[in-house]
Structure 1
Amino acid sequence: MVKKGIFYYIKRDYLLYLMLVIPVVYLLIFKYAPIYGIQIAFKDYNIFQGINNSPWNHFATFEHIFSSKQFYQVVRNTLVLNGLDLIVGFPAPIILAILINELVWTKFKKVSQTILYLPHFLSWVIIGGIVAQLFSPTGMLNSLIVDMGGQTFPFLTDKYAWVATYIFVGIWQNAGWGTILYLAAMTGIDNQLYEAAEADGAGRFRKMWHITLPGIRPTIVILLILQIGNIMAINFDRPFNIQNNLVMDFGDVISTYVYRVGIQTADFSLGTAVGLFQSVICLIFLLSSNYISRKLGENGIW
């Protein structure tokens, strides 16, 4: 059998390779090219001198960061908020997907899915405005509570109440979109398993527990590993648009800290150093969670 070279396959499937050009270029420009700028973390970077001409300070930036109490506070806040998102928010799309999968009325099922997906397409700026209108001391929810004879509740002004509001809003925004992967995984489950279980007298709960959940377990494990790997990474938009000065003890996270201290004050070396530290910790968590998953007999991400 004559072995065919790579050019044969490129010529045969050239349209597929052309489709890869855009994502590959995107990765090269926005993911790999910025790696060159990591050296800013080890320099006294001056925007007028540029990266190459700025003097090296070795680990002075990291020493400054690790000696700052505020840095440890934002690391704690990031871990706490992401940890709560993992504990409370991660099961939400799984439960929601199972409930949607159990719906018999097809039209209602499609309408429900559409309604649940919609919050994902809203900008966090818009969501921040909605949160302010609903949960502020003079917002709609507190006005309703006062009209019913109660007292205003500090949804956005008390630190602990703010954390609960933050987690709830995140679940509302992401849970519907997160069901897509789980519903797709459920379509791969053999219907004969449900029929056999029903013939044995299994009810809906038993079928969900013994067939649906094991059927989507590989998907759950992979998404769990990825979320654990991002335990130190937190989006800028969500905390920035919901936080306020009264809850900064809990609301100030790594992304807002980098924006405030690294970008607004033009201390780019500090911002890069914090970002590098964050990426290294995320990599450690990702490798550790994948290793533990493989040891427990589950399929990891590699």
Structure 2
Amino acid sequence: MAVNQALPRALRSLGGGRRSPNPPDAPATHEPPARRTRSFLTRLRQDSPLLFMAAPAVIVLLLFTYVPLLGSVVAWMDYVPFLGFTHSQWVGWDNFTALFQDSAFWSALSNTFQITFLQLVLFFPVPILLAVLFNAVAMPMAKKFVQSVIYLPHFLSWVIIVALFQQVLGGGGVISRILATHGHKGLDIMSDPSTFKLLLTAQGIWKDAGWGTIIFLAAIAAIDSQLYESATVDGAGAWGRFWHVTLPGMRPIIVLMLILRLGDSLTVGFEQILLQRDAVGPGAAEVLDTYVYFNGVVDGNWGVATAAGLLKGVVSLLLVLAANKLAHRLGEEGIYQR
């Protein structure tokens, strides 16, 4: 014991009687290691597998989404395909003036917003409710079977789906024949303009609602099971666990999907509507996408059609920015940080 006490004193005497800045019995201080910054070439080499995986999708996005945006200059030209961009005449804002004076454009814009509203109110909540119901199913085999059944319509083309609805809800469909057999008037929902927008929404729900549950099921699976156990111990029932655990856990994904849906909200289903447009007439079925198609591709009025498409893109961008700003005010991250 005496040796252990004398050793520090001897070491201090060798140092000239001065106390060292860090005596043996004091904790040593360590400088934090400097952060090593990787060069760009080093990061490029280390991340090369991920970059190669993402390259095909990036190339497709550039070629079919961003490069065609250069053709938006047609909105300010009297474009003639045989003359090209260099020899077609510039007309300034005349195409936009003609667009705003066209009553068919305002009708198509009104139909687009009506269908968008119905899809947001009636269609968007359905995958969320289905995901919650699937999560509550106790039998795994039954859960997988039901999921497989409702996923299947997503892989069918709109031609098949419209034909199926025609065989059920058309003038010569199953329901109409059953009513006629019992002495009632036949039913033809497929050619009724007053119910066409609800019909479009119902078709979209039947086709894509099951597929949309995948993301929300993943969000529910990421919720910590201990939260449900704690809520049960506190006396929360099924509704209480949903309201206080499941819904808050899904809220970031719900907000993100809502923002993305708003960005694509004005694209209400070109192929689906085009297949049924003649049955109900342009007054009920004309939307911005079909307006652009018939004015540009069919009638050759490329300038006005491009102006309508450009206006649709600008409105969609404003909807995304507004929804993302609202998400930030509600405390969510949105699709990009502030």
TM-score range for the pair, normalised by the shorter chain length: over 0.9
Structure 2: distance between partners of 1:203 and 1:148: 47
Q: 2:56 aligns with which of 12, 15, 22?
A: 22
In 1: Cα distance, 2:239 partner to 2:185 partner: 41
User: In the alignment, what sits opposite 1:137?
Assistant: 171
Q: Give the letter for the 1:27 counterpart.
A: L
- In structure 2, the CA distance between the partners of 1:149 and 1:192, relative to structure 1 (3 Å rule), is farther
**Aligned residue runs from structure 1 range 97-246, under 5 A:** 97-246=131-280
Deviations 1:150-195 (A, max 9, x none): 3222312222222222211111111101101100001110101111
Output the CA distance in 2 between the equivalents of 1:165 and 1:35.
33
Aligned identity (percent) is 35
Question: Does the aligned pair in 2 maintain the 1:162–1:247 contact within 8 Å?
Answer: no
Q: How does 1:7-86 map to 2 (within 5 A)?
A: 7-86=41-120
Task: State how far apart, in whole Å, the 2-side matches of 1:55 and 1:157 are.
Answer: 42
Distance 1:166 1:247 in 2: 14
Q: Distance in 2 between matches of 1:292 and 1:156?
A: 38
Greater CA drift, 178-187 or 156-165: 156-165
Q: 1:14 to 1:231 in 2, by over 3 A?
A: closer
Amino acid at match of 2:110: R
**Partner residue in 1 for 2:324:** 290
Residue 154 of structure 2 contacts residue 208 of structure 2 at CA under 8 Å; is this kept in 1? yes
Q: Which ranges in structure 1 are unaligned for 5 or more consecutive residues? A: none
What CA distance in whole angstroms lies between the structure 2 residues aligned with 1:243 and 1:226? 27
Work out the CA distance in 2 between the residues paired with 1:263 and 1:163: 25
Q: Give the equivalent residue in structure 1 for 2:129.
A: 95
Q: Is the 8 A contact 2:112 2:287 kept in 1?
A: yes
In structure 2, the residue matched to 1:249 is: 283
Moved more, 191-200 or 243-252: 243-252
Q: Aligned pair count?
A: 302
- Are residues 246 and 3 of structure 1, via their aligned partners in 2, closer, same or farther at CA, if it must alter by over 3 Å? closer
Aligned position for 2:333: 299
Name the CA distance, whole Å, in 2 between partners of 1:111 and 1:243: 35
- Greater length-normalized contact order (CA 8 Å, ≥ 6 residues apart): 1
SS of residue in 1 equivalent to 2:243? helix
Matching residue's letter, 1:17: L
SS in 2 for 1:48: coil
Q: Which has the larger radius of gyration?
A: 2
Amino acid at match of 2:322: S
Q: Which runs of 5 or more structure 2 residues have no equivalent in the other structure?
A: 1-33
1:4 aligns with 2:38: yes
Corresponding residue for 2:10?
none
SS of the counterpart of 2:78?
A: coil
Contact preservation (8 Å) 2:190, 2:279: no
Letter in structure 2 aligned against 1:177: W
The answer to whether 1:274 aligns with 2:319 is: no
Contact 1:166/1:242, CA 8 A, preserved across alignment: no
Deviations 1:50-97 (A, max 9, x none): 012211001111111100111000000000011100011011111111
8 Å contact from structure 2 (residues 196, 280) kept in 1: no
Could you tell me how far apart the structure 2 residues matched to 1:118 and 1:48 are?
45
Q: TM-score, normalising length from structure 1?
A: 0.95
RMSD: 1.5
Query: What's the offset of the Cα at 1:148?
Result: 4.0
Q: Secondary structure at the match of 2:59?
A: helix
